[in-house]
Amino acid sequence: MTVLLFDIDNTLLDFDKAEYEALGKIFEHYQIPDTAATRAIYSRENKALWRSHELGEISREELLGTRFERTFHALNVSERFNPVAVDEEYQLYLSQGHELMSHADELLNDLSAKNQEMYVVSNGTSRVSRPRIFESGISEYFREIFISEEVGHHKPSRAFFNHVFDHVESADEKDFAIIGDSLTTDILGGKNAGIKTIWYNPKHLEVSGMVTPDLEIADLLEIPSLVS
């Protein structure tokens, strides 16, 4: 039986909603206008830093310590706030968002009933990811949770997956498959590790770049027929 590695954010848990609500609380608390333009600025800075982190150009600490600094600088409010303290508060708000993606609960129930071996593989931070996973009620389905901050490596690096393989003794590397929404972390990571890749693409985005998934799904309930 295939061993399944599940990404969490926007695969099983709705990170976009958690992020939207957490950012709204930050803007309200610090009296920053909550507009599409201010949100776009944060998104631009945050995504650029995460991409640099995934490429190994900056550390996670630098990412978390500078995303609000860069956002506030772009908004011309940098002198008013401590960006590190703001990010601490933001992560607390993020950790409280644990709404499931469509059909996630049904999928995990179905796979669990079939004794499917499943693990979490996340690039999130421990203080955000673990509360969301446990409070959502899905932690019971997974034999182990691998979070990049704890592993010391992140997707898409081969080192992250080597760590997972070393801790899962029940299967050979060829028996693994990763399910995730990100081409640049989940799918590229799976390709780097030489395992099957399943791209969860509910928004029907086009494949971009040089990464092509082995399989593509728009609904999580498609997974059981692909791994049986």
Is 171 a residue whose pLDDT tops 80? no
- Model confidence at 210, in pLDDT bands (50, 70, 90)? confident
9 is catalytic: yes
Catalytic residue among 9, 14, 87, 186: 9
Distance CA 228, CA 226 (A): 6
pLDDT digits (tens, 9 = 90+) for 128-165: 999 999 999 999 999 999 999 999 999 999 999 999 99
Best CA proximity match to 38, nearest among 3, 71, 2 = 71
Least confident range of 81-85, 94-98, 177-181, 193-197: 81-85
96-131 confidence digits (pLDDT tens): 999 999 999 999 999 999 999 999 999 989 999 999
Nearest C-alpha neighbor of 217 from the set 61, 11, 4, 3: 11
Which among 100, 125, 103, 130 has a CA at the least distance from the CA of 13?
100
Pick from 120, 113, 182: nearest CA to 147: 120
Tell me how far apart the terminal alpha carbons of the chain are, to the nearest angstrom: 7
Name all domains of the chain by residue range, CATH numbers in brackets: 3-14+99-227 (3.40.50.1000), 15-95 (1.10.150.240)
Q: Which of 7, 87, 181, 186 is catalytic?
A: 7
166 is catalytic: no
Residue 79 has pLDDT above 90, yes or no: no
